[in-house]
Chains A and B, each alone.
Chain A
Amino acid sequence: MTTVPASWYAFLGVLLFTIGALGVLVRRNLIIMFMAIELMLNAVNLVFVAFARQQQTMDGQVMVFFVMTVAAAEAAVGLAIILAVFRNRETVNADEVNLLRW
């Protein structure tokens, strides 16, 4: 049995968060950008669970449920908005959604 310190999980969470944040900034496909945002939120979940383990408290694990709920609500509204854009513009490329100056 190998043991892994809780802080390593926290670092992994921060690493995943960074990948997600870079994804939003670099990628131009709206669906991919949205997936990257989801990655950021779930990376934070990992950080919460790791810290909850480290602090020996359940609070951090409860928060994950709230974050998941919020992520689901955001997904519903976000995908609806992307769909509305696609209906009117026939594109999911962020660079082509440029009626207003970005």
Chain B
Amino acid sequence: MAALTFPDVAWLPLLPLLVITGTTLLVLVADLFAEGPDYDALGWLGLIGLLLAVLTAVPLWNQSGTTLGGTLVLDRYGLFFTILFCVGSGLTVLLSMNYLETTDIRCGDYYTLILFSTIGMVLMATSLDLIVIFLGLEVMSVAAYALAGIWRTQVRSNEAALKYFILGAFASGFLLLGIALVFGATGETLLPRIGEVAAKGSAEQRLLLSVGAALLLVGFGFKVAAAPFHSWAPDVYEGAPTAVTAFMAAGIKAAAFAAFVRVFVDSLGPLAGDWRGALWFLAVLTMTVGNVSALVQRNIKRLLAYSSIAHAGYLLVGVVVGGESGSAALLFYLVVYTLMTLGAFGVVIALGRRGQPHEDLDDWAGVGLRSPFLGLAMTVFMLSLAGVPPLAGFMGKFYLFSAALEAGYVWLTVIAVVNSLVSVYYYVGVLVKMYMAEGGAEVETAAARPYLFATLVAALAGTLLLGLFPTPWFELARRSVESLAS
């Protein structure tokens, strides 16, 4: 029998990814033996795996290297995002255990799909090759399409999945054509070598590369829901099951930004003159459209969807600034954003009951008084999203906008600050409804839903911690972007 030689593979950089993948497959198989109607055991299995992945990622902090022909990289930037995604997915799983009871979603696949999506996110953040980034994006997105439609009997969930799928696949096409043109210009898909061509290629190569970059911008713009490519987001966020919406708003957006920064700031940095202007415009348009549309929303999920579009605009400011200060501020803000968004959607879930989702703002009247804990939690998350000191959202915006100011983007900073002021109106509007109106829905006590309660406490603690003691965390973000080339 002919023996096959096994290729030399550096396993170390793959370790966190392998742990998550192993867990996912284990959950997939365990689903066969699990008995309904609750599949919490699968959720716990996934949580343990995600925790293990974090525990394997942390000791790798001072290591670096590449593997599999330079396509996957071990660096602090990748590890930072790996840990962030594990935390985000872990909180989503915890959030879901109590949420699924109130829905007709009775299948273990739910947890498997969340884990599959997490694999895709980690791939996106740790890859140095455009094709692997694309594969990661698809692994993440295809699982997310299925998640959006997992409440099969509910028409709104079907519709959300449909819109997400059509526009997501449409965007993937643009991203892919961008990759093809970049490949045509350089003969390469490895980011470092594309960077070399971008720095000192011929005029012809750079022209083709710029057209490719424009198409990549459209593709990523769709994924992070930047205006004018945002039209899918409010519908999908409203229709998808709330726990899935939280996952999409937090995890998937962060993953898209992870790849966005790696490709644009790191690799295509030398061409910044060509794309920075377009991105500046995109950032301004995104935050303005998001904030102005949020002003008139009556449905809390739609309001949070527009709020997440506005936040994509603030995050784009970090990409425009680029360099170490811009990227570090972006990473810090993504952590903050993940925590407060998951928290806000957690409160939305806490208010819903079986058959009564209570998503209309009118249902929220007086909830703050009847349920002090939920009132407090929502107050912290809303004020943090609005950027009120001393909460984490304020520190995130502070780092982001001061980086923009230092880099000389005065007008961008002014527009961003004005936008944050506008946003205070609708965030506080929710609080006014919760505390100063009467006649809304009855709420269950938090103790009836222990996992949801735990998620909210974790998100609250994170929002306060990052707001009160931001320095060590920002330092962590700054050291994570040191490994990027520019």
Contacts and interface: CB of A to CB of B under 8 A. Distances in A.
B180 A44 contact: yes
Interface in A1-53: 10, 13-14, 17, 20-21, 24, 30, 33-34, 37, 40-41, 43-44, 47-48, 50-51
B134 interface: yes
Contact of B184 (A20, A54, A67): A54
Nearest to A86: B158
B170 A100 contact: no
Nearest to A98: B159
A77 B146 contact: yes
State the main secondary structure of chain B at its contact with A: helix
Contacts of A74: 138, 142, 165, 169, 172
Most chain A CB atoms below 10 A, which of B155, B184, B231: B184
A99 B177 contact: no
A26 to B, nearest CB: 13
A47 B174 CA distance: 13
Q: How large is the interface on B (under 10, 10 to 19, 20 to 34, 35 or more residues)?
A: 35 or more
A95 B180 CA distance: 33
Nearest to A63: B131
Contacts of B149: 81, 84
Contacts of A14: 177
Interface in B160-211: 160-163, 165-166, 169-170, 172-174, 176-177, 179-181, 183-184, 187-189
Contact of A17 (B152, B155, B173): B173
B239 to A, nearest CB: 5
Given A21-B173, A66-B135, A77-B146, A84 B158 contact: yes
B134 to A, nearest CB: 7
Interface string A64-102: 001100100110011011101100110000100101111
Contacts of A80: 146
A101 B235 contact: yes
A100 B177 CA distance: 30
Given A54-B184, A59-B187, A97 B159 contact: yes
A21 B181 CA distance: 17
B172 to A, nearest CB: 8
B266 interface: no
B156 interface: yes
Contacts of A81: 145-146, 149, 158, 161-162, 165
Contact of B160 (A44, A54, A66, A100): A100
A100 B234 CA distance: 9
A38 to B, nearest CB: 9
Given A41-B176, A77-B145, A10 B184 contact: yes
A92 to B, nearest CB: 10
A14 to B, nearest CB: 8
A78 to B, nearest CB: 5
Interface of A: 10, 13-14, 17, 20-21, 24, 30, 33-34, 37, 40-41, 43-44, 47-48, 50-51, 54-55, 57, 59-60, 63, 66-67, 70, 73-74, 77-78, 80-82, 84-85, 88-89, 94, 97, 99-102
Which 7 residue pairs spanning A and B have beta carbons closest together?
A40-B173, A51-B184, A55-B187, A100-B235, A47-B180, A44-B176, A85-B158
Interface of B: 131, 134-135, 138, 142, 145-146, 149, 152-153, 155-156, 158-163, 165-166, 169-170, 172-174, 176-177, 179-181, 183-184, 187-189, 231, 234-235, 238-239
14 contacts: A21-B170, A24-B170, A30-B166, A40-B170, A44-B173, A59-B187, A63-B183, A70-B134, A70-B172, A78-B165, A84-B158, A97-B159, A100-B160, A100-B234
Given A21-B173, A51-B183, A54-B184, 9 more contacts: A37-B169, A37-B170, A59-B189, A60-B183, A73-B142, A77-B165, A85-B159, A100-B156, A100-B159
